[in-house]
Amino acid sequence: MTRVVRRATSDDVWAVHETARESWHAAYDDILGPRFVDKVVDDWYAIGDLESAITDALERENATFLVVEPEGTERVEPSDSGSDFDGDCLGFAHVVPWPEDRSVAYLARLYIRPDYWRAGAGSTLLERLEADLESSFDRIRLAVLADNEIGISFYESAGFECVEVRSTDLADGLEECVYEKSL
């Protein structure tokens, strides 16, 4: 399947929100529990906040919010997983400058719908993101929960290295790994 990566617009807000919800449940229900996951998604991916993040990224040269979708007529049919997936948004990524070091891009969000994990959508999105960022940043940094095996596997296979393990404010006793990659 051919994929298109483009800048997100305010029309993508609901698709991004639902992609986040599906991805978070698939990755974190066993770690955090489904009710806690719903709370996090409702807080971190509130429609108004997402719309502001997308608008901000469109207006700034040093931030980006991208979506990956199937190309043209290669529309994806909804899965049997019971999701409300409309076939357009396979995933998204959001990058802003790291607050303490403007030469570092902070990958705040990168999520792919679970039905498309290991199908190339995430790699396509990350490759475009890195190409867009390399003229403005020296490296890219992200944090992922240490128990998120699928996320860690993805980032390590893409050449990221863990540079720090630290506790997270998300829940007591949880740790996150900070990963970096030179651009």
pLDDT tens per residue, range 116-147: 999 999 999 999 999 999 999 999 999 999 99
174 in a structural domain: no
Q: How many CB atoms lie within 10 A of CB 167?
A: 12
Q: Is residue 11 part of a domain?
A: yes
Tell me, yes or no, whether 155 lies in a domain. no
In a domain? residue 166: no
pTM over 0.85: yes
Phi, psi of 35 (to 5 degrees): -65, -40
Indicate whether 29 belongs to any domain. yes
Determine, yes or no, domain membership for 90.
yes
What range does the domain containing 90 cover?
3-138
Total domain count for the chain? Answer: 1
Q: pLDDT tens digits for 57-99?
A: 999 988 999 999 987 644 444 444 444 445 579 999 999 999 8
pLDDT, tens only, 65-74: 999 998 764 4
Q: Can you give the CATH number for the domain in which 127 is found?
A: 3.40.630.30
On whether residue 154 sits in a domain, the answer given is no
* Span 150-164, pLDDT tens digits: 999 999 999 999 999
